[in-house]
Amino acid sequence: MNVIEKLEILADAAKYDVACTSSGVDRSGRNGQLGATRAAGCCHSFTPDGRCITLLKVLFTNVCTYDCAYCVNRKSNTEVKRTAFTPQELADLTIGFYRRNYIEGLFLSSGVVGCPDRTTELMVEALRILREDYGFRGYIHAKAIPGTSVELLDALGRLSDRLSVNLELPSQQSLGLLAPAKSRASILAPMRHIHDSIADDKESRARKRKNLTIYQSLAKPVRRARAFAPAGQSTQMIIGATPESDYHILNLSASLYQTMQLKRVFFSAYLPVVKNPLLPATDAVQLNREHRLYQADWLMRFYGFNVAEIIDEDHPFLEPDVDPKANWALNHLDFFPVEVNTAPLEALLRVPGIGVRGAKLILRARRQSTLGEAELRKLGIAYKRARYFITMNGSYGGKGVDFSRDALHARLAAPIDGGRHGRRAAKTTPGQMTLFESTEQAAVLPEASASNKAALETAFEAQRRALNAANGPVAGIAIGASAAVAPSAAASCSTSRREENAKGSSNAAQRGMPQAAGHRVTNPGHPLLQVG
């Protein structure tokens, strides 16, 4: 099989992994070396549903000794062609594409060939050739395989910009049922090790800078070791293959942000690619749910919302018709209207239609003049949404509309006419774009219908029965101290590495605005939130 045939198989096999944005690291080009990356994001292009495509996204191999029920590459799937790159082939391919300006970096994942350590050794060798032999300074995102030993994680982290370990499924029981070779501990142990290594690396670099004397600064600079995963770590969860609620998923995400300092938690709407009695036998892809989860995630990371403000146990799924911020606003009408000419940043960030950038622009612009509709539109504020929740120098923007939950809900849930909204929605295609197909050829994604939802419920019922029989009722993945101990994920690996693993605001106050200070734990007693 030649390299292009391998690429066709392995790029296609990698398209189900969505955790691939590359923002987070700034590195300029250097004489005699190749590539550069920008913190603002070397991914300039996204699929219609927001997935990044400018990295060469491939598996090292689609051979896998594991048998995860939801995965097209699982061992028992005899319908896929299996292949693997050699480290040299993968490095040559990446450099070839980079030189032709097809890609700006590499997203490397892999099936488990033999054991996690053997697979990681092959990945490390490919990245070493790229970094050391070719002097490649572009962006690299590598997937760490649960159960990999700490030395290999260290090597991978020194060669990559971002590492990620997929959480795969949002609960321990679902994991045990659908991905029996993976466990809570084998996933959380590398996550915790990566977290600790990033923190140590940052600390030692800061200490070095601080202690720099005049004599040291005059000395010939020694070649510094590469930073450990300077763009941090991320993870991914499959949404909709198992019955966990949005409440469960968002609490788990908040806990991961808090305890592991993850850069991102990616949500991947379950895509039915294999048949299994324990999986939903439906072709509905819950893209809207995935989209709402991303919006909620954005609120937690950039807008100062905590999980309890977004979702509660009595309403465990996000509202499908309106985004979570609009939903919060509709439930807190007493907080509005907000006066755009005097409100603090925290209050502006609560207004539907005003984003982080818009709120900061408002703060700056109002120093020069009093803001009205025209000025807000010029600043790029989504005035059609924001107007129901603001006053401009005392004048209410939503005149003519009843200031009630129902009336405003109807307005906010209605499709937005005009402007650039929805211009990509009509072209939505399944999964990500590939190097080999035109997007026009791809079928339009099916929407969840009543029969699809019924099929989902049937599958979930089967899962619940199996879970109850095996483990008792579904609980979350506890992110506790015990995560530092990884059990052997692949018995065939050498035990020495396994043993290593085992060591291993005024207006806000006025209006009674909820405190928005980071990701607070909503229910410390919840098993998801046991912080180690």
Q: Which is nearer to ligand SF4, 70 or 389 (CB)?
A: 70
d(CA 324, CA 336): 16
Under the binding rule (CB under 6 A), the answer on residue 74 touching ligand SF4 is yes
For residue 525, the one-letter residue type is: G
What minimum distance in Å lies between the beta carbon of 197 and ligand SF4?
23
| Total Cβ atoms within 10 A of residue 299 | 23
Q: Are 297 and 265 in contact (CB under 8 A)?
A: yes
Q: Which stretch binds ligand SF4 (CB under 6 A): 65-73, 91-99, 389-397, 481-489?
A: 65-73
Could you write out the DSSP letters of every residue in 10-30? HHHHGGG-------S--B---
Q: Which two tokens stand for residue 447?
A: 């929407």
Q: Which is nearer to ligand SF4, 64 or 260 (CB)?
A: 64
Q: Which is nearer to ligand SF4, 175 or 381 (CB)?
A: 175
Sign of CA dihedral 513, 519, 525, 527: positive
CA-CA distances (angstroms) from residue 190 to 163, 308, 514? 10, 29, 36
* Residues listed for the chain: 532
**Could you tell me which of 268, 22, 34 has the C-alpha nearest to residue 136?**
34
User: Which listed residue (73, 183, 234, 522) binds ligand SF4 by CB under 6 A?
Assistant: 73
d(CA 490, CA 305): 40
Q: How many helices (H) and strands (E) would you count in the chain?
A: 19, 9
What minimum distance in Å lies between the beta carbon of 149 and ligand SF4?
17
Q: Which stretch binds ligand SF4 (CB under 6 A): 66-74, 300-308, 445-453, 520-528?
A: 66-74
**Could you tell me which of 312, 287, 309, 291 has the C-alpha nearest to residue 300?**
309
What minimum distance in Å lies between the beta carbon of 37 and ligand SF4?
27
Sheet holding 55-59, edge to edge: 55-59, 105-109, 139-143, 162-164, 233-239, 264-269
**Could you tell me which of 22, 88, 33 has the C-alpha nearest to residue 55?**
22
Q: Are 335 and 329 in contact (CB under 8 A)?
A: yes
What minimum distance in Å lies between the beta carbon of 381 and ligand SF4?
43
Q: Which is nearer to ligand SF4, 73 or 234 (CB)?
A: 73
Q: Are 429 and 437 in contact (CB under 8 A)?
A: no
CA-CA distances (angstroms) from residue 453 to 10, 205, 268, 285, 447? 32, 52, 18, 10, 10
Interacting residues with ligand SF4 between 105 and 164 (CB under 6 A): 111-112
Under the binding rule (CB under 6 A), the answer on residue 66 touching ligand SF4 is yes
What minimum distance in Å lies between the beta carbon of 278 and ligand SF4?
14
What minimum distance in Å lies between the beta carbon of 241 and ligand SF4?
12
Q: Which is nearer to ligand SF4, 74 or 118 (CB)?
A: 74
Whether the ω angle into residue 116 lies within 30 degrees of 0, i.e. cis, is: no
Q: Which two tokens stand for residue 127?
A: 């990245």
- The site for ligand SF4, by CB under 6 A, has a size of 9
Q: Which is nearer to ligand SF4, 64 or 381 (CB)?
A: 64
User: Which listed residue (55, 68, 177, 516) binds ligand SF4 by CB under 6 A?
Assistant: 68
Under the binding rule (CB under 6 A), the answer on residue 272 touching ligand SF4 is no
What minimum distance in Å lies between the beta carbon of 173 and ligand SF4?
17
- Residue 476 bridge partners (DSSP): 171
User: Which listed residue (55, 64, 175, 448) binds ligand SF4 by CB under 6 A?
Assistant: 64
What minimum distance in Å lies between the beta carbon of 434 and ligand SF4?
18
Q: Which is nearer to ligand SF4, 62 or 391 (CB)?
A: 62
3-state secondary structure of 530: coil
User: Which listed residue (7, 71, 194, 386) binds ligand SF4 by CB under 6 A?
Assistant: 71
Q: Which is nearer to ligand SF4, 84 or 529 (CB)?
A: 84
Q: Which is nearer to ligand SF4, 74 or 384 (CB)?
A: 74
Q: Which two tokens stand for residue 4?
A: 């292009």
134, burial (CB in 10 Å: exposed 0-12, middle 13-18, buried 19+): middle
d(CA 86, CA 229): 24
What minimum distance in Å lies between the beta carbon of 486 and ligand SF4?
15
Interacting residues with ligand SF4 between 14 and 33 (CB under 6 A): none
Q: Which is nearer to ligand SF4, 266 or 389 (CB)?
A: 266
| Total Cβ atoms within 10 A of residue 179 | 22
What minimum distance in Å lies between the beta carbon of 143 and ligand SF4?
9
What minimum distance in Å lies between the beta carbon of 64 and ligand SF4?
3
Site string for ligand SF4, 168-197 (x = CB under 6 A): -----------x------------------
Q: Which stretch binds ligand SF4 (CB under 6 A): 36-44, 60-68, 154-162, 439-447?
A: 60-68
What minimum distance in Å lies between the beta carbon of 331 and ligand SF4?
38
Give residues in contact with ligand SF4 (CB under 6 A). 64, 66, 68, 71, 73-74, 111-112, 179
